[in-house]
Amino acid sequence: MRQDTCVVVPTIREYECLRAYFENAREHGFDLDRLHVVLVTEDFCDTDAMQSMLDEEGVDGDVFDGAAREQWFAEQGVDEYGHLIPEASHAQTSFGLLYLWANDFEYGFFIDDDTLPHPGFDFFGRHFDNLAYEGEIESVRSDERWVNVLYQNVEDHDLYPRGYPYSAMDERVETDTVEVDDVVASQGLWTNVPDLDAVRILMDGDLQGQAQTRTTADDYEGNFVAERGNYLTVCSMNLAFRREVVPAFYQLPMDDNEWDVGRFDDIWSGLFLKRACDVLDKRIVNGYPLCEHNKAPRSTFGDLNNEVPGLELNEHVWEVIDDVGGDADTFAGVFRAMAEALDEGDFDYENAAFLNYCGEYMHDWLGALEELRPGTIPATATATATADD
């Protein structure tokens, strides 16, 4: 089988976790020759050791620290877009998306280095099954137009994930069954340390950034989709997707900005992806395979400092993009319309100028993709779809 999948792992510490994912693949008969791993790291990390780990496992891949990323941009002739990848930020996963796009991979995976494949799940196989799924599945909606991805056992644990708006809590949830036939992303959820924001972690009585309340496999009952017009949090720690979503899946320039906004890169990219999916009649499947999230102890107040500058913005970003791009027919087209709404918007929120800043970067994102693959990105939101987007 040809190499068709790019696995993107942002890491500065626990890259050895990938050995467990490779072992899981072997146990379930998944062909590791399909994978090309991209480790996105920093100049102070031991890139030789990371490359040696991949070589020992017999898995193809590359390691990109800051210097290597700069060289890659130069080799591709897109130096002017290097600013799209923020320094020392989880949002550097966007580099992996550019690499995937330039090298014509059909699928992408995001895996965080503080996770492990959950026992009993065929990690890669289940994600691919989700992406190929056609048939009935549970759909979820709420009167707040937000779906808590932890809704299945919320009566017991009362958890809301990082990025879920505070204004959308205490929602009334309704479920139904729908037919799906065009899945473009598969979000696996997590056991052990839940993915919460710092405010919720503090309310749970934990000063080490982890939360006292933990999740187990019993908290999940299977796969579901959020109904059209309903938003949800998308966490990049355990995620698979099709190439076609890349134009609408930029992980925004968090942390490395004058407003000090951080921690919402995957959350906001998930909003853009969900809006585009609703417009284009695509689906995001959520649930299995689970991963085990082993978040390292760190100051809850440190995370809080990173999140506070963007907390008010997070309450409203979805409202800004909710009614734009409806006449587009490509992921790039919907994304361009959302970029315009943010770039040109006159917002009265704390740190509102950061939204304009994001809009500018979103336009640059589409420019970078077009430079890497000329003819793949439509010039307007309603341009005819092409094979690559």
Note the pLDDT of residue 384: 42
Kindly state the tokens that stand for 307: 């999140």
* Domains within the chain, CATH numbers bracketed: 5-372 (3.90.550.10)
Q: Residue 335: what residue type?
A: F
Q: What residues in the chain have per-residue pLDDT under 70? A: 1, 381-389
Integer-rounded Cα Rg, in Å, for the chain is 19
Taking each continuous run of H as one helix and of E as one strand, the counts in the chain are 11, 13
Residue 20 · residue 121 · CB < 8 Å? no
CA separation for the pair 389, 385 (Å, rounded): 7
Task: Summarize pLDDT for 213-263 with one digit per residue, the tens.
Answer: 999 999 999 999 999 999 999 999 999 999 999 999 999 999 999 999 999
Kindly state the tokens that stand for 8: 């993107």
